[in-house]
Structure formats: C-alpha cells, structure tokens
Structure 1
Amino acid sequence: MRSGKRDDGSTAIIVANGNYPRHPLPLSVIEQAPYIVCCDGAANHFIEAGGSPDAIVGDCDSISFENRIRFADRIFPDGEQESNDLTKSVRFCLERGRKNIVIVAGTGLREDHTLGNISLLADYQVEANVKMITDYGIFTPIRSRTTFHSFAGEQVSLFSIDRKPITTTGLKYPIVNRVLDNWWQGTLNESLGDSFTVDSCGKVIVFQVFGC
C-alpha cells in the first residue's frame, strides 16, 4: 500500500478519522509518505486497507484488540480531554520535530468533526507548515500575504477565522480590505490565472478545488 520515500525527519502524514480518501491525490500522498500517524479511531481502517502506521495517537480506546497487540510498539496513548485526537496527533508530530504536516481523512462523516478539524488548521499553522487534502481539494491556513499556484477557472473559497481585513488579487470577485463576517462570504470565488494572492494579518483558511 505504501512505497514511501526517504524520511528526513521533518514530514508527517496524519490520517484522521473522517472518510478515508478515494481521490488519487490524497491516496498518492499516503503512498509516498515517509512517516504516517493515525489518529486513534482511524487506525483500524487504515490497517485493514493494508497500511502500516508509524504511530497511533489519541485516547487509544478504539483500536481493536488484535491491532493493539500487533502494533503495541507504536501506540502512544494521550488521555488529555481538552483536545481531540487530531490535535494530539499534530502535537505528537511537533514534539518530534515534524513540522511539515499533511492531514488526510479529516472531513466527512460527522459534520461537527469536519468543521472543527478545518478550523483547527488556523491554530496548527502557528507552529507547523500544515495543509489538509480531501477528495475535493486542499485547505491551506495562512496569516500573512500569500501567493498560491493556481489555474484559470480554479474554484477558490476563503474562510476568515477572525475579524481582520482581507484583500485579494487574481480572483474573479475581488475582495478589497474587507472584513468577512461569516464563512459563506468568501466562498465560491474563481482564479483568473496561474496564481492568486490573499493578503491579511488575520487567520484565513484557503480552499482550492481540484481541477477535473
């Protein structure tokens, strides 16, 4: 299932407990991953699909007895109740110097978990270079002027986490020094070319939809 690539110690793929990906891009990310961390509840499915995680992190109360025995040397229980298993997994990676993090299977199933996982990207970016890849696109958190590689017609949505002005260039519907009061206000935009720029000192999450 995984061919892997050379592990430089800085990168990790986190498999969360949402819908397991079917799109070729997130699947290829898993296939090439140098180091894979499974959130507690995701481990059983990942292992059943033929995967072999390097670490399993979380409450660790959802792992099957068989997998608990088989992977005993790579289970890292964290019973802290103030954060979810995804945050525990991110913290686990950061503590080991793995600051380049890609999250897969972070959406789907329960909508409250999906919204929570997406919004947490804004917190993770303070310490990590992080993004979330789904079956439909890529979520990237930013907190300063950032230029994104794109293509004409790419669907783009912006989600403002705090009330800070946003200015964009290279999008079909420009945003000029505007505070977005609700998540829907920055959605359903479109790239005009091979790049676009989002400028804000606040926490913004940018979603780019895969091309056909």
Structure 2
Amino acid sequence: MTRILEFDAPVALIGGGAAGPAELEAALARAPRVVAADGGANLLAGRARKPDAVIGDMDSVADPARWRDDPEVRFVPVDEQDSTDLEKCLRLTRAPLYLGAGFLGGRMDHSLAALHALLRHADRRVVLLGAHDVAFAAPPLWRARLAPGARVSIFPLAPCRAHGSRGLRWPLDPLALAAGSVIGTSNEAAAEEVTLRFDGPGAVILLEPRFLDAAIESLTAAPLSTRAG
C-alpha cells in the first residue's frame, strides 16, 4: 500500500494540461512544496525548483528516469485508470492547501474531470488556477472580500441548496441548484464582502484570477465539508 505523503505547508499541484506562465508562477509563488501530477513534471523539468513528488500513472512523463533516480524526489507510480492524476495526487497526499495549475483550460474533458475531482474531494482545500478563472469547491459557509462588480459564478456539479447569500447582485435565498435545472453563473458582487451558505457539497465557485488571494483567504477561514461527492 502506498504511503500517504504528509505536507505541513501549501502544495503547488502541477498538472500536464494547459498552464500559462501566469498560473504556474502564481501557484509556485504561494506554495513552498510542489507535487507534479504525471505530465506536470515536464513543466518543471527546466526549472531549478524540483517537485517534492511525482504522482500518477506516468504515461505522460517525458523522462521518467530523471525523477525516479533523483533521491530528492518521491516517484510514486499508480497503476490504475479509474481516477485522474489529480485525484491520485489528492488521494495520496495531505496538505493544508493545494494550488493547482495545468488542470483548467485546454481540453474540455480534462477541465470537467478537474472540477469532478474538486467535488470528490470537497473535504479538502483545493484552488485550481486557469487563464480566466480560479475554481474551488464551495464550502458550507463561504465568505470572501472581493469588489463590487466582480464576477462570482456558482455552478452545481451535484444538487445542492444555497441560502443566506449576502453581497450578491442576484441573491440566492434560498435556491435549489442542479445542473440541467438552475445554476448560478455570471452573478456579481454587489458589495466588498460576499457570503454564501450551502446545505452540502455540490457547487463549484469560479472567480476572476485577480481574486486568487481572496479565494485562498476565504477557503483558509472556511469550515470544510464533512462529506464529499
């Protein structure tokens, strides 16, 4: 059985998908530890900062021997195809916060799989960085300092109920959310602070990249979901 890797500081999770320099640098600048999800190791190959671990089925790593033979890198092959490399990383590590780059953008199926992983691990603090969004699973009580006019999109991956919203242009009081029924995308902050409550896991919140630090602060202060999807 593979041992869980424990980190006492935020982790930059680097995936093998589309990751621009801005997202990559933002994640690495805010997290002292680094874990590459399979092909994400390729994005780190030309950098002085090596990953603490490379985790995945290793089908996309350009030079597996480089990492396998490095005594400073934990090389963790996982020979199963029932979960994504992002899910494998979350399953085999523990950290107070994850900042993921290389999971949003590019192929739509990869982005959808990354959002699926957020729901599956809604009891963890994970922020995914993309060129146009930062995304994270909505905690039971979410409070963030944004700015009037800031985009606040709420998309339900599974049925859930939002209530007690404050600071939104279009309040959700209460509103049953479900894909194919009612969603909450393209909402806006109407005040400097936005508050939302949810009856359980199910929703993903998407903000503009300029509010990455606000997203991190809000998740760090929020209670975690007690059950995942």
TM-score w.r.t. length of structure 2: 0.78
Residue of structure 1 aligned with 2:154, choices 135, 152, 158: 158
Query: 2:207 aligns to what?
Result: 208
After TM superposition, give the deviation of residue 211 of structure 1 in Å. Answer: 4.5
Structure 2 residue matching 1:179: 3-state secondary structure? strand
In the TM superposition, residue 70 of structure 1 has moved relative to its aligned partner by 5.0
1:176 aligns with 2:161: no
Aligned twin of 1:43: 41
Deviation at 1:35, TM superposition (A): 0.8
Q: 1:117 aligns with which of 87, 110, 114?
A: 114
Indicate which of 162, 177, 197 corresponds to 1:199.
197
User: What's the offset of the Cα at 1:30?
Assistant: 0.9
Q: Is the alpha carbon distance of 1:70 and 1:162 closer, same or farther for their aligned partners in structure 2, counting shifts above 3 Å? A: closer
CA distance in structure 2 between the partners assigned to 1:70 and 1:163 by the alignment: 41
Q: Which residue of 1 aligns with 2:217?
A: none
Name the aligned partner's letter for residue 162 of structure 1: A
Q: How does 1:53-72 map to 2 (within 5 A)?
A: 53-65=51-63, 68-69=65-66, 71-72=68-69
Shift of 1:210: 3.3
Q: How many residues matched?
A: 199
User: SS of 1:13's equivalent?
Assistant: strand
- Find the counterpart in structure 1 of residue 83 from structure 2: 83
Q: Could you give the per-residue CA deviations for residues 111-154 of structure 1, whole angstroms, max 9, x where no partner exists?
A: 1110110122122222x222112222321212412111211110
Cα separation, 1, equivalents of 2:9 and 2:67: 26
CA pair 187-27 structure 1, distance change in 2 beyond 3 A: same
* Residues 181 and 33 of structure 1, relative CA distance in 2, 3 Å threshold: closer
1:185 to 1:41, Cα distance in 2 relative to 1, 3 A: same
For the 8 Å contact 1:93–1:99, the answer to whether it is kept is: no
Runs of at least 5 residues in structure 2 that lack an aligned partner in the other structure: 1-6, 212-229
Q: Which residue of 2 aligns with 1:104?
A: 101
Question: What CA distance in whole angstroms lies between the structure 2 residues aligned with 1:117 and 1:207?
Answer: 13
Counterpart for residue 220 of structure 2: none
Q: Cα–Cα, structure 1 residues 171 and 132, in superposed 2: closer, same or farther, change >3 Å?
A: same
Structure 2 CA distance for aligned equivalents of residues 60 and 92 of structure 1: 15
- Aligned-residue identity in percent: 22
Q: Alignment partner of 1:120: what SS? A: helix
Deviations 1:67-95 (A, max 9, x none): 5235523211111222111111112222x
Give the Cα–Cα distance (whole angstroms) in 2 for the partners of residues 210 and 28 of structure 1: 10
Q: CA deviation at 1:107?
A: 0.9
Report if aligned partners of 2:129, 2:209 keep a CA contact under 8 Å in 1.
no
Q: Quick one: distance in 2 between partners of 1:118 and 1:135? A: 15
Q: 1:197 to 1:34 in 2, by over 3 A?
A: same
Distance of 1:30 and 1:125 partners within structure 2: 22
Q: What is the deviation of 1:26?
A: 4.9
Asked if 2 retains the 8 angstrom alpha-carbon contact of 1:161 and 1:202, the reply is no
Q: 4+ runs of 1 displaced by more than 6 Å?
A: none
Q: Does the 8 Å contact 2:14/2:100 carry over to 1?
A: yes
Structure 1 gap ranges (5+): 1-7
d(CA) in 2 for partners of 1:79, 1:149: 42
